[in-house]
Amino acid sequence: MSEWMSAEQAALRLGVKAATLYAYVSRGTLTRRKADGRSVFNRAEIEELAGRGRPRRQAGTTELVIESAVTMLGADRHYYRGRDAVGLAATWRLEQTATWLWTGAEAGAPEVWETAPDALAAAREAQRGLSPDVLPLERLQVIVTALAVADPVRYNLEPAAVAQTGKGLMAGMVDALPSEASPDGRDRGLHARLWRKLSGAGAGERLADVLRFALVLLADHELAASTLAARVAASVRADPYAVVTTGLGTTSGALHGGASLGVESLLAEVGEPGRAAQAMGERLRRGERIAGFGHMVYRAGDGRGDALLERVRQAVPGHPRLAVADAVLDEARRRALPAMNIDFPLGLLTHLAGMPRGAGEAIFGVARTAGWLAHAMEEYAKPTRLRLRAAYTGPLE
């Protein structure tokens, strides 16, 4: 008898749906590998799990399983429609990634994504009264709302229409951000335009390609908090702009997209390698968590973060601020903190590139818009809405 079982056999033996089976993989309960292009599972693990019953969820968390063909979480990384996202990030742009997530088809020749001139003007005008200190993520929320008002056909929820809306929406999110940089016609890709909006004077141009790499990695991550919120909105037929606004609002949470802001603050406070121990120690003494470390899914380490950090190192070898990051990583190991996650190199990227405070959140929001819309398309195709139930714990009269 083979030591490996097909997904169908494993799900039947455990009495669960395929989505639940892959949820066990993402939590590290089961081992999965590829054989002849198909997923197979270790028979001994399946039998052991069948004997002791379904695994209990982690204390303090609530897990909801929704069937989706968009993204699967592996042991240390994620897969977009079955393809390794870290591998795709080596060469793909955000536009290609979004097209793949939305349609399951590879994009053809490079296409310049743009939004309607009147919509772009409205999005820029909507920010006129904002303080210069407003965080980029908060600007994106204003921008998306203005773009929505300027789009009279936003309620067309057919897949092709949503994809077309997504192209203009993502282009508008980038192009409506304020910038003092001069336009550059050499590269019209979203990552190049976002780089010109956010990077500081004198930032190494090689870091622009690191931004491209990061955008691909961040485009989706299964049912993260913002994606679940976006799917709930889509399930009641909220339009694509409302879906993205919902995702952006959830992204601002310190335990989600806002974690990179915590990394930016830490690196700025440390300043020089010798201060890492003191700065981190003071945070821990105050009962604060150290942003950029630990992940609910990747217990042994986040392969996305490792890949992004390596890209940063290759882009600016010997940069003096890398020594600060290394000191923080060393101190984290000395204090036995959880493994680094992708928020740490994202915060480091914005720090090295001289980007404004909160730029990491904006990068996350622009990238994750691709994933939110992919999940929205799945919900638009379903006849029912998502309706969670509460376990009431209040008084009874």
pLDDT tens digit string along 24-48?
877 677 888 888 778 888 888 888 8
Given 239, 256, 343, 375, the catalytic residue? 343
Contact assessment for residue 65 and residue 20, using Cβ atoms and an 8 Å cutoff: yes
Query: Based on the domain organization, do 150 and 218 belong to the same domain?
Result: yes
Query: Based on the domain organization, do 225 and 346 belong to the same domain?
Result: yes
Which range among 58-67, 165-174, 301-310, 348-357 shows the weakest confidence by mean pLDDT?
A: 58-67
Q: Which range of residues forms the domain containing residue 8?
A: 4-65
**d(C-alpha 154, C-alpha 147), whole Å:** 10
Name the more confident of 220 and 109. Answer: 220
pLDDT tens digit string along 201-235?
888 889 999 999 999 999 999 999 999 999 999 99
Query: Based on the domain organization, do 51 and 101 belong to the same domain?
Result: no
Average pLDDT in the 312-329 region?
Answer: 96
Print burial letters for 167-176: b (CB count within 10 Å at least 16), e (below 16).
bbbbbbbbbb
Q: To the nearest 10°, the Cα dihedral for 141, 144, 71, 73?
A: -10
Contact assessment for residue 86 and residue 92, using Cβ atoms and an 8 Å cutoff: no
Give the confidence band of 57 by pLDDT, cuts at 50, 70, 90. low
Query: Based on the domain organization, do 35 and 163 belong to the same domain?
Result: no
For residue 273, is it within any domain? yes
Query: Based on the domain organization, do 287 and 380 belong to the same domain?
Result: yes
pTM of the model: 0.86
Q: CATH no. for residue 282?
A: 1.10.580.10
For residue 163, is it within any domain? yes
Query: Which pLDDT score, from 0 to 100, does residue 54 have?
Result: 56
The structure tokens 């690196």 sit at 267
For residue 34, is it within any domain? yes
Give the confidence band of 115 by pLDDT, cuts at 50, 70, 90. very high
Query: Based on the domain organization, do 198 and 115 belong to the same domain?
Result: yes
The residue from 15, 33, 65 where one domain ends is: 65
Query: Based on the domain organization, do 201 and 274 belong to the same domain?
Result: yes
For residue 77, is it within any domain? no
Query: Which pLDDT score, from 0 to 100, does residue 55 have?
Result: 57
Query: Based on the domain organization, do 131 and 22 belong to the same domain?
Result: no
The residue from 65, 97, 113 where one domain ends is: 65
Given 78, 191, 256, 295, the catalytic residue? 295
Residue 296 CB neighbours (<10 A): 14
Identify the top-confidence range among 36-40, 122-126, 291-295, 318-322: 122-126
**40: β partners:** 6, 33
pLDDT at residue 180 is higher than 80 = no
Sign of CA dihedral 173, 174, 180, 183: negative
Query: Which pLDDT score, from 0 to 100, does residue 1 have?
Result: 52
304: exposed, middle or buried (C-beta count within 10 Å: 0-12, 13-18, 19+)? buried
Query: Which pLDDT score, from 0 to 100, does residue 205 have?
Result: 85
Phi and psi angles of residue 273, each rounded to the nearest 5 degrees, phi first: -50, -35
For residue 70, is it within any domain? no
Q: CATH no. for residue 17?
A: 1.10.1660.10
Query: Based on the domain organization, do 10 and 128 belong to the same domain?
Result: no
Query: Based on the domain organization, do 236 and 351 belong to the same domain?
Result: yes
Task: Count structural domains, the chain.
Answer: 2
Query: Based on the domain organization, do 105 and 50 belong to the same domain?
Result: no
The structure tokens 């003494």 sit at 285
For residue 75, is it within any domain? no
pLDDT at residue 127 is higher than 70 = yes
For residue 269, is it within any domain? yes
Give the confidence band of 50 by pLDDT, cuts at 50, 70, 90. confident
Query: Based on the domain organization, do 43 and 183 belong to the same domain?
Result: no
**d(C-alpha 298, C-alpha 75), whole Å:** 7
343 is catalytic: yes
For residue 72, is it within any domain? no
Give the confidence band of 60 by pLDDT, cuts at 50, 70, 90. low
